[in-house]
Every structure is written in C-alpha cells, then in structure tokens.
Chain A
Amino acid sequence: MTSKMLATNEHAEAKAEGELVATGLVSGYHQSPILSGIDLRVRRGEVLCVLGANGAGKSTLARTLVGLLPLRQGEIVLDGEAVGHLPVGDRVVRGLSLVPEGRALFPSLRVADNLRLGAFSRNRAQLAAAVDDVLDLFPALRPRLRQLAGTLSGGEQQMLAIGRALVARPNYLVLDEPSLGLAPIIVDRILGKVRELADSAMGIVLIEQNASLALSISDFAVVMERGVKVVEGPAKDIATDDAVVRAYFGGVGRSETATHSPKTRIRESGERNQ
C-alpha cells in the first residue's frame, strides 16, 4: 500500500503542471458564514481528501470552489489565475469541475446526451474521444447510452455524473460524496477510478464520509469541523493517527496499533474558533 502510494506520488510529481490553491475562504448561505477562513491546496496528480462530520461545511466548500456559492472573502487560484469571483461556467472553461452531491444529472435526456453536454463549454473538439475514454473507464455505461439518465441505477448515475464532468477533461475535479447511497463494491470501484484519474495528472478534491476508504486512495487529507480545517496532513498519517481517528471518525478505521504521528497537525481549540 505505502510503496504503491509513494510510487504514484513520484509519478504525479513528474506530471504536475499546476495547482489549485484556496486561501481564507469565507462563504455560506444567508447571514452567517458556513466556511470561516479555510485554506486548501491540491496539485495535479494528487488526491486531497476532505473529511468531516455532517454539517462541517464540506459541501459548502465544494460549491464555493466551483462558484455555485459566492465567495465572501478569500481567493481561489487555479494554475496561477485568480478565479474566486468568476461565474461557474468560466471556471469550468478553465478546467475546474464539480461532481455535486446528488449528481445533478439531466434525467429526461439520454445518457449519451448527458455525456455530450459535459463538453458544452470545454473540450468540444475532442468530444468523441473524451466520451470513449469515459466509456472505457466506466464500461457499465456503454450499453446504457440510449437510455434516459433518470432510469439508471444509483451506481450508474454516479458513474455518469463523474463521466459527464470528465468529458470536459478538467485539470481539477471536485467530487462531493461520490459514495453516498452506493453499495460498497461500487464505491470501491469508483474510488479506484478516482485514483487512476489522479495518476493521469488530474488534481482531485475528494469529499467523503467514508473515511478509511477515501484515505486509502488519497495523498493528503484535511478534516473539517464547523467550517474550519482542524487537521491536515498526509493521508496515510491521518489514517493511522489514533487521536484523529478517535476524535473524528468515532474509532472507525485501522486504529488499533497506530500511534500519534508528528506529521499530523491538530489545531488547538482556540485556533479552531477564529
């Protein structure tokens, strides 16, 4: 496991061309902000896993990154360009895509049309090749191309949602709870594909509740609580960090023999509420 991850990291470093950097993000709905000053960084070729309980602000973070929610403070820099105040479509054009929680498919359109619309504003020239790549990645979609998207099973819908985002060939992909409501075997398969995507030089922000599985395919991880980052570090350290696992995942995970890792930083409570 560890050796494989090291290998992929070196691989990624060789291919990395840029990074997605978010600094001091403040956003939310109505008056009170849900994100209160969060920093993130993901390089192409890496998977950054975002963990946290319900209500920690993970989906708000995802929606703020792509522009579905307006940024109140902070900045988002995409391959060196500030995009924090651009509308969603302009970020998609620049290579930042989101697979949202709930998938946001077009149920009354066919699977093939959903995929085709993925290239509405980016990569239209290589549409056919990109759709082919998606079908190679998710062969289960191939026999369903002429079906209406609304008639797919949950797992197929998730594949279609990811596929639709991939047709644009994004440089960075934000995945919001791709495992939600899916059978474990399908979650395994989808997260395996996510790792493959990262290895093909895509930067991925993976938001998950399923901590142990998500950490196993991630390079780095952050844990969120009430709109701020409380823990960050290499994914393998967080997965084996007893204190973190006990505090945030209720003992779920491989924590029996783990010891506290100095690479993982847990913020003090005073710092948390800033």
Chain B
Amino acid sequence: MLSDFLQFTTSGLTTGAIYGLLALGWVLVMRVSGLLYFIQGEFVVIGVFVIVVLQEHGWATWIGGLAAIATCVVLALAVDGLVMRRLRHPTPMSEVLVLLGLALLFGLALQNIAGPNARLMRGFLPTKPIEFFGAFVTPHQILAVAVGAVTTLLVWVAITKTSFGQAMQACADNVEGALLVGIKPMRLRTLGFVGAACIGGVAAIVIGPLAAVEPLGGLLLGIKGFIAAVVAKWTFLGAVAAGVLIGLLENYGAGYISSVYKDVISLGLLVVVLLVQGAVAGDSSMGMRIRLRLAAR
C-alpha cells in the first residue's frame, strides 16, 4: 500500500519535473513576447529524436545532447525570424493559430523523416533501480528531478539577478521606459526564445531514457506545460510547482484509477482552472504583448 503510493509519487515527481521544465519554457516566452508557445513540446520530441538517431549512428550520448540543444535553438530562431516576425498583421489569434500549425507541422515532418514509431533513447546511467520502502527509483528518474531543480534555479537566477531579468521586468513594467534606457525588447524576445529552446533540449535529454516518445507527441506534451503555466498565472516558480503537481495527479490517477485517465486529468484541470480563473494569460502578460507591438518599431 505504502510502496504503491511511493511508487506513484516517484513516477509523479519524474513526470512533474519534465512538465515543470516545459512550463518554464512557456512562462519565459510569455514574459518576453506575450506568445502562447505551442511549439515548446516539439523541442522535446525533436531533441529526443536527434539524440536517438545520433546514438544509432554510433555517436556518444553527450554529443547527441549538445546536438539536440543546438537543433532546438536553430529551430526557435528560424520560427522567430522566418515566421513570427513576418506575420503581416499579427493578432493574438493569428499568432496562436500559426504556432499551433507549426507544432503540427513539426510533428508531421518528424514522422515523415523518422517514421511513425515511438523511440526510446538508450540510457546513459546505470539502469539498476534503487529500492526504498518497496518502491523503485532509477538513476535516470533521479537525474530528471535533479535537472529540473537545477534548471529552475538557473532560470530563477537569470530573471532575478541578471540584467536580462531586470530588463524583462522593466519591459513588463513600462515598455516606453525600457526603450528610453536603451533596452531593445525584440532582442530580449529573441533571448527568451533561445532560453526556452535550450530548456526544451535539456528536457529531451532527461525524458529520452524514461519514456518512449512519438513524433506526434509534442503538442500534447507541450500542452501539459501550458496547463501548469495557466494554473500558476504565468509565474516562474509557480509554474514549476504546478507542473510537479500535475505530474503527481496524473500518476496517482493512473495508478489508483486507470492509466486511461492520465491525460483526462490534466486537460480536465485546465478546463476547471479556466472556468475559475477566466483567462488564459495574465493581464500583465497580455498587456505587455500589446505594448511590445508598439515597441517593435
């Protein structure tokens, strides 16, 4: 009984760490650009496939990991430079639709290139589970939680202790004031995209050995991060906490009820939260998006 609970909890924390990472990406992008970044999950899936393919060709996993992060960054810059900045009449609706479309496009393209099968990365840590109180936890699971915590800490330092973070807050407070001290909001936005892509690549490295990933799985995976961000009203630490909570809820639901309900639980949570909260994006974030339009000149 207790061992069941512990087992669900450890799996929940692992899943939650991944969701927390995804949520960090969503919040970062929202804070710098006001965009709903539906391609955040694609970075994870594409990252995993990059590592798996490189592993199959005999490359070391760490090279695959670096290649995954680099691929994500290049993709993010391409999406920004070739698509988002070129929308003739950007509105919140058109941007959401374009990003959703891109998420589907990436998934289908990956399916065409790599085949429709789910892929599991070869592990790079000892695979022998560690037992405690009748529950088992693998080194890869511990790594996922540790990486989630460290990444959260790094993002927290970046937004509270660096000039990047201060500039981001300055833009949210008053875009005109930010412009007048020489901050370039579009440059911050690009930095935010790069940061979110790196987070996606890192998430790929830790999720790869834990779960088989399908080419079309990115959108749903990304939406878990979105739900966490919405629940936390687009705060950084709150979103990570919400991600962990969703991971736990999904695993308890899957364990005690049925694994069929895994996605139903998190998507149901989104519906409930939207009913209560009434808004997808916090006021400040949406306001900032509009103000950024002015500043983008």
Chain A residues near B (Cβ < 8 Å): 66, 68, 70, 87-89, 92-93, 97-98, 100, 103-109, 113, 116-122, 164-165, 168
Q: A106-B170, A108-B173, A109-B169 are in contact. Are A164 and B297 (CB under 8 A)?
A: no
The 9 closest A-B pairs by CB, nearest first: A121-B182, A104-B177, A92-B182, A106-B173, A89-B182, A88-B179, A104-B176, A120-B181, A106-B170
List 5 A-B pairs, Cβ < 8 Å: A68-B179, A104-B176, A105-B177, A121-B182, A168-B181
Whose C-beta in chain B lies nearest to the C-beta of A161? B177
B173 touches A121 (CB 8 A): no
CA distance in complex: A207, B182 (Å)? 22
Chain B CB within 10 A, most for which of A89, A98, A109, A117: A117
Whose C-beta in chain B lies nearest to the C-beta of A106? B173
Which of B163, B169, B179, B297 is A106 in contact with, Cβ under 8 Å?
A: B169
Which of B163, B170, B173, B184 is A87 in contact with, Cβ under 8 Å?
A: B184
Q: A109-B166, A117-B166, A120-B163 are in contact. Are A104 and B183 (CB under 8 A)?
A: no
- B180 interfacial contact with A, CB 8 Å: yes
A92 touches B180 (CB 8 A): yes
A116 touches B180 (CB 8 A): no
B174 touches A105 (CB 8 A): yes
How far apart are A90's CB and chain B's nearest CB, in angstroms?
Answer: 8
Which of B174, B176, B180, B184 is A97 in contact with, Cβ under 8 Å?
A: B180
A118: which B residues are within 8 A, CB to CB? 181
CA distance in complex: A122, B163 (Å)? 13
Whose C-beta in chain A lies nearest to the C-beta of B175? A104
A104 touches B166 (CB 8 A): no
How far apart are A100's CB and chain B's nearest CB, in angstroms?
Answer: 6
Whose C-beta in chain A lies nearest to the C-beta of B163? A120
- B167 interfacial contact with A, CB 8 Å: yes
**Count of interface residues, chain B, beta-carbon cutoff 8 Å:** 18
B184: which A residues are within 8 A, CB to CB? 87, 89
Q: A88-B182, A120-B163, A164-B181 are in contact. Are A68 and B176 (CB under 8 A)?
A: yes
Q: A106-B169, A107-B174, A117-B181 are in contact. List 10 more A-B contacts (CB 8 A).
A: A88-B179, A92-B180, A100-B177, A104-B180, A105-B177, A108-B173, A109-B166, A117-B183, A119-B181, A121-B181
How far apart are B162's CB and chain A's nearest CB, in angstroms?
Answer: 12
The B224-263 residues at the A interface (CB cut-off 8 A) are: none
**Interface of chain A, main secondary structure:** loop
A109 touches B180 (CB 8 A): no
**Interface of chain B, main secondary structure:** helix
CA distance in complex: A98, B177 (Å)? 9
A87 touches B297 (CB 8 A): yes
CA distance in complex: A220, B5 (Å)? 80
B163: which A residues are within 8 A, CB to CB? 117, 120
CA distance in complex: A251, B205 (Å)? 75
How far apart are B191's CB and chain A's nearest CB, in angstroms?
Answer: 14
CA distance in complex: A108, B166 (Å)? 10
CA distance in complex: A54, B176 (Å)? 22
Whose C-beta in chain A lies nearest to the C-beta of B180? A98
CA distance in complex: A120, B178 (Å)? 9
Chain A CB within 10 A, most for which of B163, B172, B177: B177
A120: which B residues are within 8 A, CB to CB? 163, 167, 181-183
A66 touches B180 (CB 8 A): yes
The B263-285 residues at the A interface (CB cut-off 8 A) are: none
CA distance in complex: A116, B170 (Å)? 11
CA distance in complex: A203, B123 (Å)? 65
CA distance in complex: A10, B189 (Å)? 48
Which of B167, B170, B182 is A168 in contact with, Cβ under 8 Å?
A: B182
CA distance in complex: A164, B184 (Å)? 17
A104 touches B174 (CB 8 A): yes
B174: which A residues are within 8 A, CB to CB? 104-107
CA distance in complex: A211, B171 (Å)? 34
Which of A70, A89, A106, A121 is B177 in contact with, Cβ under 8 Å?
A: A106
How far apart are A264's CB and chain B's nearest CB, in angstroms?
Answer: 33
A88 touches B170 (CB 8 A): no
CA distance in complex: A66, B181 (Å)? 11
A104: which B residues are within 8 A, CB to CB? 174, 176-177, 180
Whose C-beta in chain A lies nearest to the C-beta of B284? A108
Q: A70-B297, A87-B297, A120-B163 are in contact. Are A108 and B169 (CB under 8 A)?
A: yes
B166: which A residues are within 8 A, CB to CB? 109, 113, 116-117
B179: which A residues are within 8 A, CB to CB? 68, 88-89
How far apart are B94's CB and chain A's nearest CB, in angstroms?
Answer: 23
CA distance in complex: A111, B169 (Å)? 14
A97: which B residues are within 8 A, CB to CB? 180
Whose C-beta in chain B lies nearest to the C-beta of A93? B182
B167: which A residues are within 8 A, CB to CB? 117, 120
